[in-house]
Amino acid sequence: MNLFVFLVAFLAGLSCLLYALCRLNSSVQFYTKYTMFLCWHLFLGVLVTGVSLLTFTFGDTANMWWWNFFSCFLDAKLLLGVDIEMLNTMDKLGVNEPCVIICNHQTSLDQLPFLRCWAPGRYSILAKKSLKYTLSYGLGCIASGVIFVDRKDAAQAREASKRCVKFLTEEKGKLWVYPEGTRSHQPETDMLPFKKGAFHMAVQAQVPIVAVVFSRYRHMYSSAEKKFDKVKIKVDILPSVSTKGLTAEDVPELTERVRDMMLKRFLEISPPFSNNNHKVKSS
């Protein structure tokens, strides 16, 4: 009992010390909250992996739901000060209605609103291959059937694309893709040009595209500036875009049309970018 009391007192004292330091120094606040953010992901990975092993479903895309389930109990607003406001929901998407979900990408913090964008049915996400090796988080991704892609390896990228189309057509799943790819570190960049891979997959599978828009938050969170303030992210789900009857020739126009629609909504729900050294611009 004495050891338990000591541990509680130690953790309480450490928490008070970190809170005080965070109030005094923004860099300490950044590193403290970012470490908590990483631990949050690692712990979720442990839980998802554990459940998949206990239920003998390791590698099944149905396990993606557990990320959403456990994240509801590990509240990001309470732990990290990240407030996510859903302007719309994905509930209107049915269980067996496959689609390609595309979203703008700003930082690794996008994982938090991603877990709030949920609809019935199977989910998977197209993620960069390096995430597979991020300890328990990567193991949790493997356990939940995440599709990894190495864009530097053309053959592997084609194989990943085939897996995605198969997931859409045979498993009737919902595939999440960040079409901007690697993010620009320029804070004034609103939205990078979209890669066409996700749109080719949607056209091949003849499934609709559902666009999800996260509002700008780089002024509240920035690894370059070592800033991690209270973050508020608005999330809107736009009307789906049909790909019925479209072919590969229609992909360039489809890509630009969806990007323009997303960029317009992004600017509507985001606070204006303010920096004395830069002007607001759209890539």
Phi then psi dihedrals of residue 224, to 5 deg: -65, -40
Distances from the Cα of 19 to the Cα of 30, 36, 114, 227, angstroms: 12, 13, 28, 15
Per-residue pLDDT at 279 exceeds 60: no
pLDDT per residue as tens digits for the range 117-166:
887 889 999 999 999 999 999 999 999 999 999 988 888 989 999 999 99
Residue 95 pLDDT greater than 70, yes or no: yes
Mean of all residue pLDDT scores within the chain: 87
- Give the model confidence (pLDDT) of 7-34 as tens digits: 656 666 766 776 676 777 788 889 988 9
Predicted pLDDT at 276 = 43
- Token pair, residue 99, equals 């689609």
Residue 255: per-residue pLDDT: 97
Residue 55 has pLDDT above 90, yes or no: yes
Could you tell me the end-to-end alpha-carbon distance of the chain, in angstroms, rounded to an integer?
60
At residue 215, does pLDDT exceed 50? yes
**Per-residue pLDDT tens over the stretch 233-271:** 999 999 999 999 999 999 999 999 999 999 999 999 998
Residue 185's pLDDT band, with cuts at 50, 70 and 90, is: low
Please tell me the predicted confidence (pLDDT) of residue 7.
Answer: 63
Q: Write down all domains in the chain, each with its CATH number in brackets.
A: 26-269 (3.40.1130)
Write down the pTM of the prediction. Answer: 0.87
Which amino acid appears at position 63 of this protein? N
196: buried, middle or exposed (CB in 10 Å: 19+, 13-18, 0-12)?
A: middle
The whole-number pLDDT of residue 283 equals 39
Query: Could you give the angle at which helices 2-24 and 26-54 cross, rounded to 10 degrees?
Result: 130
